[in-house]
Amino acid sequence: MTFDIDVAAKLVSTLVTVVLAVVKLIADKRPRLVAYFGHRSEHHVKQKVAANGDVTQPPFEVYTHSVVIANVGKKTAFNIRLGHQYMPDSVTLYPYSTPFKIEHNADGFAELLIPTLVAKEEVTVSYLYFPPITWHKINTYVKSDEGSAKVFEPVRYEPPSKSKIRVVILLMLMGAFTLTYGIIRVAYWLGTYLYNLQAT
């Protein structure tokens, strides 16, 4: 019975490709939190003057910003915590039915706790506050029982279609198959070369 290196290489490369696909599938089936700033706004409210010329309300400034938290994974995330070095008095969550609570510690910091975020669920946390507080003096971190969220700045882009994603995945698998096959061929050639070198 002869040993066909081509058949063995193809079998091994196929097995490696399948294993990589299974590992990716397992990794995808977990919660994965992302967070980003939805908006940052500064509003200038003009003074109000009565008919007799009296100022009934002086001019003032008010700031707002929002943080969007999304579970883009495929499992529920538990105990999502937003850290704050300063907690404004006005905090609103959307959807409005989202349960949450605010916990303060002895150091003056606070956490906003959301019990769960199911797969593909998204929550927007909006803040309203006044000078001298600014947005970068409020939020500190976003994390859950499963780990820290990936915080990033939003970038406008057109998401690829599902067909394009499938093509990219197929090309990646083909690349992994070809690379594995090539490595096995090189290893076999090197082994044969060294064996022949020793034999001579």
Q: Give the CB-side neighbour count of residue 49, counting CA atoms within 13 A.
A: 4
CATH architecture of 33-151: Sandwich (2.60)
Domain boundaries, the chain: 5-28+160-199, 33-151
**In which element (H, E) is residue 115 found?**
strand 110-117
| Contact (CB, 8 A) for 125 and 91 | yes
Q: How many residues does the chain have?
A: 200
What mean pLDDT comes out for the span 128-142?
92
Reported as a single tens digit per residue, the pLDDT across 37-91 is 888 888 888 888 888 878 788 888 999 999 999 999 889 999 999 999 999 999 9
Reported as a single tens digit per residue, the pLDDT across 22-34 is 666 665 567 889 9
SS3 138: coil
